[in-house]
């Protein structure tokens, strides 16, 4: 029987937690929340399937925090919704929004959980669309102001904070592949946002440092690229994939430069002073978050814009997203951060988990064996790294609840806890109980 009994072999101070994000769980119809680019994208591209209700976490947050505590987790990663704090403009704060996050943080702390807030997890207020969102550095300046506000208003309730969740998704996935809001597909927008989202990070770090004594991080999603075969052109294509998906962000943060191949394609679209801005972008951070899900098999494919590759999937066991189980990639990236970028920086696995087509069975049990297996094989990689004395300090399962899985709406279930979207009932799955067995 595959189980998680080896959780007991982790050091006592290793931080196990769960992660969520604002738009995916809160429900925008509650508490005077403003509109974001996701509401607009959902209306235009997703038949209106949006985060209006989501998990109604706004009304159920106490129950949700209790679920986290009762499973024996010690930390909770969540995000602030910018349009909930500033629904209409960049000046007038929504007191209901402030009040919600105050209560949430109080509840987290009362339950002896460590709060790991993220400032930006993709719900950009719709008003920024007028200036093309992250394509304009005005947005980055306002993001700095938001960061200052968050630190000043809530900063005594947490120690660690991250600026941005998955800059690759904010930029490439949303402005080149067009799969996420705002759904743009062009290389120029993509290149600009690849840089600007990192510039926004730098504005946030500066604001946070000026306000409080936080431990600041950023959360990167790394995906393992493997050449589909040993053909030289596929090997080169994989290198480009790795630079665009992964190294663009880590090279900028840790080395203050962009990787060569990707730069040769994107440089012409970057602002003239991008090198000066890279100096700010690479100002030191205190920890790094790594989100990891899967690998891709990369094949050369000619394109007009120089992005000459395509991503394929192989024959390994797959999740309901069609993503292959490839746990080796997780330890690969932990080691890469440690060996190639910074051999001291604390590493937190800030997301890892799988979508599964979960169904209620008799007696309201949810037998999500595959998810337990997914956690088993990935956590073993993490434990090996810990045993090799790599500075991995925590692991957050994605996600606490089945929630709004972006372009897939409510059809993909990532939760340790099942959400009944008709009545907001929460039903812990077997994977939840498996963590509980060994964490409590």
Nearer to ligand GCO (CB atom), residue 77 or residue 239: 77
The rounded distance, in Å, linking the Cα atoms of 126 and 311 is 31
CB of 297 to ligand GCO, least distance (A): 19
Site map for ligand GCO, 14-53, x if CB under 6 A? -------x--x-----------------------------
Angstrom distance (rounded) from CA 379 to CA 369: 15
Nearest residue (CB) to ligand GCO, 58 versus 270? 58
Q: How far is the CB of 163 from ligand GCO (least distance, A)?
A: 14
Question: In whole angstroms, how close is the CB of 41 to ligand GCO at the nearest point?
Answer: 14
Binding flag, residue 147, ligand GCO (CB under 6 A): no
The answer to whether 67 touches 424, Cβ cutoff 8 Å, is no
Asked if residue 165 binds ligand GCO (CB under 6 A), the reply is yes
- 118 forms part of the interface with ligand GCO (CB under 6 A): no
- The 10 Å Cβ neighbour count of residue 229 is 9
**What would the two tokens of residue 220 be?**
């990167």
3-state secondary structure 125-182: EHHHHHHCHHHCHHHHHHHHHHHHHHHHHHHHHCCEEEEEECHHHHHHHHHCCCCCCC
User: Shortest approach of ligand GCO to residue 89 CB, angstroms?
Assistant: 27
Q: Is 398 in the site for ligand GCO (CB under 6 A)?
A: yes
Token pair in block for residue 28 = 């925008």
Residue closer to ligand GCO, measured from CB, 166 or 368:
166
> Does position 333 bind ligand GCO by CB under 6 A?
no
Q: Which two tokens stand for residue 184?
A: 């743009």
Number of residues in contact with ligand GCO under rule CB under 6 A:
11
Judged by CB under 6 A, the stretch of 4-12, 101-109, 161-169, 422-430 that binds ligand GCO is 161-169
The three-state secondary structure class of 74 is: coil
Of 221 and 296, the one with the shorter C-beta distance to ligand GCO is 221
Report CA-CA distances (Å) from 210 to 112, 143, 213, 398: 28, 14, 8, 32
Q: What share of the chain is helix, strand, coil (3-state, %, to 5)?
A: 45, 20, 35
Q: Pick one of 50, 166, 242, 342: the residue that binds ligand GCO (CB under 6 A).
A: 166
**Residue 33: partners with Cβ closer than 8 Å, 6 or more residues away:** 26, 81, 83, 84, 87, 94, 97
Q: Which stretch binds ligand GCO (CB under 6 A): 109-117, 165-173, 205-213, 227-235?
A: 165-173
Residue 174 sits in the site that holds ligand GCO (CB under 6 A):
no
Q: Is 351 in the site for ligand GCO (CB under 6 A)?
A: yes
* Burial class of residue 349 (count of CB atoms within 10 Å of its CB; 0-12, 13-18, 19+): buried
Question: Is residue 135 at the binding interface for ligand GCO, with CB under 6 A as the rule?
Answer: no
Residues assigned a catalytic role: 166, 351
Whole-angstrom CA distances from 118 to 50, 72, 115, 157, 281 are 21, 22, 10, 13, 18
Cβ of residue 336: shortest distance to ligand GCO, in angstroms?
Answer: 19
Distance CA 348, CA 216 (A): 12
Q: Which residue number is nearest to ligand GCO in terms of Cβ? A: 166
Site string for ligand GCO, 214-243 (x = CB under 6 A): -------x----------------------
Rounded Cα–Cα distance for residues 146 and 91 (Å): 10
Q: Which chain residues interact with ligand GCO by CB under 6 A? A: 21, 24, 165-166, 169, 221, 291, 351, 398, 405, 414
């Amino acid at each position: 029987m595959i189980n998680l009994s080896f959780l007991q072999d982790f050091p006592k101070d290793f931080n196990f937690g769960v992660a969520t994000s604002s738009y995916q769980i809160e429900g925008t119809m509650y508490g005077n929340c403003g509109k974001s680019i996701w509401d607009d994208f959902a209306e235009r591209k997703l038949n209106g399937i949006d985060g209006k209700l989501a998990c109604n976490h706004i009304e159920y947050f106490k129950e949700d925090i209790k679920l986290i505590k009762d499973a024996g987790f010690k930390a909770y990663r969540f995000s602030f919704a910018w349009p909930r704090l500033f629904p209409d403009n960049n000046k007038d704060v929504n007191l209901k929004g402030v009040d919600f996050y105050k209560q949430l943080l109080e509840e987290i702390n009362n339950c002896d959980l460590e709060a790991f807030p993220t400032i930006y997890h993709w719900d950009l207020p719709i008003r920024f669309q007028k200036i093309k969102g992250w394509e304009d550095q005005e947005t980055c300046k306002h993001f700095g102001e938001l960061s200052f506000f968050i630190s000043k208003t809530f900063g005594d309730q947490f120690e660690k904070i991250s600026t941005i969740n998955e800059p690759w998704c904010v930029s490439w996935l949303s402005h080149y592949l067009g799969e996420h809001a705002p759904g743009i597909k062009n290389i120029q927008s993509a290149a600009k946002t690849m840089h600007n989202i990192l510039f926004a990070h730098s504005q946030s770090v500066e604001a946070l440092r000026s306000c409080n004594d936080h431990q600041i991080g950023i959360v990167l999603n790394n995906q393992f690229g493997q050449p589909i075969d040993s053909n030289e052109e596929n090997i080169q294509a994989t290198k480009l994939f790795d630079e665009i998906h992964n190294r663009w962000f880590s090279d900028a943060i840790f080395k203050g430069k962009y990787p060569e191949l990707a730069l040769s394609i994107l440089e012409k679209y970057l602002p003239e002073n991008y090198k000066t801005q890279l100096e700010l972008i690479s100002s030191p951070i205190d920890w790094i978050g790594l989100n990891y899900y899967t690998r891709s098999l990369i094949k050369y494919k000619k394109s007009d814009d120089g992005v000459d590759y395509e991503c394929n999937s192989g024959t390994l066991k797959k999740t309901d997203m069609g993503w292959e189980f490839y746990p080796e990639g997780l330890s690969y990236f932990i080691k890469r951060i440690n060996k190639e970028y910074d051999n001291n920086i604390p590493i937190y696995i800030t997301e890892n988990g799988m979508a599964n087509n979960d169904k209620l069975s008799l007696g309201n049990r949810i037998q999500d064996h595959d998810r337990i297996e997914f956690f088993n094989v990935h956590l073993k990689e993490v434990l090996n790294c810990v045993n090799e004395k790599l500075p991995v300090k925590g692991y957050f399962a994605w996600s606490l609840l089945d929630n709004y899985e972006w372009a897939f709406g409510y059809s993909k279930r990532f939760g340790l806890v099942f959400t009944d979207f008709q009545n907001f009932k929460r039903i812990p799955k077997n994977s939840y109980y498996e963590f509980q067995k060994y964490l409590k």
